[in-house]
Chain A
Amino acid sequence: MAVISSGIRPAFLVEGVSKMFAGRTGEVLALDDVSLQLREGSFTCIVGPSGCGKSTLLRILGGLETATLGTVTANLAATDVPESAFVFQEHGVFPWFTVLDNVAFGVRMAGVRKARREKIAHDWIGRIGLTGFEGAYPHQLSGGMRQRIAIARAFATGSPSLLMDEPLGALDAQTRMLMQEQLLRVWESDQKTVVLVTHQIEEALLLGDVVVVMSARPGRVKEIITVPFPRPRPADLEGTPEFAALRQHIWNALRDEVRASMEFS
């Protein structure tokens, strides 16, 4: 079992988690004996071939699914805010709410009163650069703006941890790069425990403190890599030989798994 250790208590302790899905065509083992320890305030990226169960793992972390075997211990902060908030792809933004109501949704569900939740929402709308769009509906905005709504909605809950499922996956390359920078800025100013699922190695290395490489289905932890680049990360990080070497290293680890996952389907 690999452990990401530091002196601080873990935000998430995942011990021997396996997940079996029972379907019409039989049973599918999605996750097999996954163990992880995520440090509080850390930024963890999970990469792996499609169908490897990385989204399932995220959903188990957030309590949207239960593990068939094994346990997940979330370090519950002693507050009334939910322990984790999700960022989905932009499709998780409610089309019938304005930007303001969308960003305020999480806090609203947590029972925060109107005046206070709108203040929180305004604050976050400003921090993600959507000031002036409070009254707009999501489909009036671009994909990148919608995704920022989803991110602001999660940050606004005040939850100590954020679980992101390919949050930038639907964006074009340029928007994606800008959003990565913005996400980093927001995270650096408001350090939460972040777990981000992505299929982009570069994204994982740019954003994460730790990269968890998963195997093809059934998903196992194949390797855990501590990203050595200091923060704040320089803009030209991607051009450095260290970055290239690490990207190559991860790709080497992933290549066989991607091949295996393609043979599966």
Chain B
Amino acid sequence: MSPKKTPTRTWSASGDLAARRRALNAASAREYAHSRHLAQRDVLLSILTPIVLLAIWETAARLGWIDARLFSPPTRILSQGATMVANGQLWANLLPTLLRLLTGFVTGSIAGIVVGLLMGVSRVVRAALGPMFTALYALPKIAILPLLLLIFGLTETPKILSVAISVFFVLQINTVAGVVQIDERILEAARAYRATGWRLFRFVLLPGAMPSIFTGLQVAAGSGVIVITAVEYVASNQGLGFLIWNSWLLFQPAQMYVGLIVVSLLGALLTGAVVLLERAVVPWRRANTLRKKRNT
């Protein structure tokens, strides 16, 4: 194999150190620029794909290739959205959903984490509650909505409870798993340094379970949005779920699309908030990626 001919600059062995340094810096800058270029291209492509698809949709609907009554063209959805923002209809439906979702999510999460931690640290509690919760977890949470409606009537309580219950189970399971999965060698080290009781909990068990708890919060954010939407389909006369359902009854597809978009945005925002919280609370998990970023 013949050596590949590459343009090279050569330096004498004694070395023009400054020239060598300059060349090195220039090459490094080129490499950096190239990787930056690739990263920018990735971002551009990720934005371009949905824009192209939307443009195709728009064209297809306008030219009658698809039924514009069912597949409202994007511009139509946009103007519908603007109208709904202007006349307050969107806000009137967004606010109740937001309140129900947040109240249910926060109370359900806290209860789930507390119970999960108790189960994680106490064998007695784990034995008493574990199998029962596992059995209850299999029950589709939305299926108990009629029962909740029966008990609490058509108030806010059954809607919030539905979200809270589904969030609770996810968090409880993830928290127990987080505590139980802590490396035996870590626990041994804690024991060797005489961390017991509250200090064991505060300095070892709680931080050890944190990553798993945040995984649970992310999953729960998604399922909370699903549950509140489904609840509002059947048991509410306001909210984004109601908006979507009602659009079907009234045959208003553009309005339905607006509802769908806002619901997905809500889910994305809640998940994003959880991710931000995780970065603040679990800094050791992201420290690694930070360093990698700085290196590139």
A interface list, Cβ under 8 A from B: 62, 64, 82, 85-86, 88-89, 91-97, 105-106, 108-110, 136-140, 153, 157
Contacts and interface: CB of A to CB of B under 8 A. Distances in A.
Given A62-B192, A88-B192, A95-B186, 9 more contacts: A64-B188, A64-B192, A91-B185, A92-B186, A92-B192, A94-B189, A96-B208, A109-B195, A140-B288
Contact of A88 (B189, B203, B210, B284): B189
Contacts, number: 65
A264 to B, nearest CB: 23
A105 B193 contact: yes
Given A86-B192, A109-B195, A96 B185 contact: no
Name B's interface SS: helix
Interface in B161-208: 183, 185-186, 188-195, 199, 203-204, 207-208
Contacts of B194: 82, 109-110
B287 interface: yes
A109 to B, nearest CB: 5
A227 to B, nearest CB: 27
Contacts of B288: 137, 139-140
Contacts of A136: 287
B185 A88 contact: yes
Nearest to A163: B192
Interface residues of B, number: 23
B291 interface: yes
A105 B191 CA distance: 12
B197 to A, nearest CB: 11
B159 to A, nearest CB: 37
24 contacts: A64-B191, A64-B192, A88-B185, A88-B188, A91-B186, A92-B185, A92-B192, A93-B189, A94-B189, A94-B190, A95-B186, A96-B210, A96-B284, A97-B203, A105-B195, A106-B193, A108-B203, A109-B194, A109-B195, A110-B194, A137-B283, A137-B284, A139-B287, A140-B291
